Structure 1
Amino acid sequence: MSRTLSNTTASRNGKAVEKSLLQYMGLSHEQSPVDSTLEGHPLEIKSCQMQIIDSHNSNHRRSGRIVFEPEQHRYLLEHGGIYAFVVHVNKVVHHTRMIRADLVKLPDFSCNRSVPWPTARGWLS
C-alpha cells in the first residue's frame, strides 16, 4: 500500500472512529476548532491505527501516530480543553484515554506534530 493511500485510509478510518465515539458519548460534532464539548470543556478526539505498514522501518510496521495541530492545541490550552485518544484496528477500538490538554507534553510547535500513540499513553502515568 502506498504512503498516500495509507494516509487516506487512516484519515477515513479516523473520521469514522471519531464519529462513533461522539455518538457513543451522546455528543454532537461542533463546527469549531475542536470536535465537541464535554461538560463545558472543549473536546478534541484524536485517533490512530494501532500499527501501520511502514516500508522505511526494518520490520515494515510501526505504531500509529496521533497528529496534533498547533491551533487546536492552543485553543484547548486556553479554554481548559480535553483530548480523547482512540487507538483502533480497522475501526475496532482497542484503547481509549482522556487527558487534559495541559498534561500533553508537547514542546511549542508551529506546524502539525505527530506522536506515536504509546508515547501519548505514557503521558497518563
Structure 2
Amino acid sequence: MTSESAALANHNGKMVEEIVQTLLPELQYVGKNLDAVYHERPLEIKSCQRTCHRSDRGRGERSGRFWFRADQDKVLKEEDGFYALVVHDKGNLCFFYLTEARLLLKDFSGAMTVSWRTIARRVL
C-alpha cells in the first residue's frame, strides 16, 4: 500500500463512519477492535468504493471489495452483532445495508475480500 492509497483509505474510512452515524443515530462509536455498539450489540462498519482500478490489468475497473477479518467476524457472531455495509463513489452513498453477522458469511480464517456485488446478492 502506498502512502497515497493509505491516506485515501483513512479519509474514506472517516467519511463512511460519519455516514453510518447519520443513518444510525443510536450508534455509539467506540473505534476499537469493532467500530461501534448499536442497540447494545457490537457493530463493524465495512466500506468499499463502488469501482476501483483493476490491479491485474493496465486498464479497466472492477467492483470494490469489502475486507473481512475472521477475528472480528467471530466476535460479531458470538455476540449477535451487526455489519454496516457501505458502498460509496467519491463520497456519494451508493449502497447501505445493516445485517446481522450470523447471516452474512460462513466461517473462515484469516481475512477475505468479497465483491460488494456478491454481498448485495446475498443480503437483498
Q: TM-score, normalised by structure 1?
A: 0.84
Runs of 4+ in 1 over 6 A off after TM superposition: none
Structure 1 equivalent of residue 102 of structure 2: 102
2:16 is matched with 17
Q: CA RMSD in A?
A: 2.0
Deviations 1:5-63 (A, max 9, x none): 34541342123212331244222311432111111211111011000112424752111
Report matched runs for 1:42-121 at 5 Å: 42-57=42-57, 59-109=59-109, 111-121=110-120
CA distance in 2 between counterparts of 1:44 and 1:70 reads 12
**TM-score of the superposed pair, with normalisation by structure 2:** 0.85
Aligned residues: 122
Pair 1:103–1:58, CA change in 2 (3 A): farther
Distance 1:24 1:100, change over 3 A: closer
Contact kept, 8 Å, 1:42 with 1:76, in 2: the verdict is yes
Q: Residues of 2 paired with 1:122 and 1:58: CA distance?
A: 28
Cα deviations by residue, 1:56-107 (Å, 9 ceiling, x for unpaired):
2475211111011111111101000010100000121011011111111234
Gaps of 5+ in 1: none
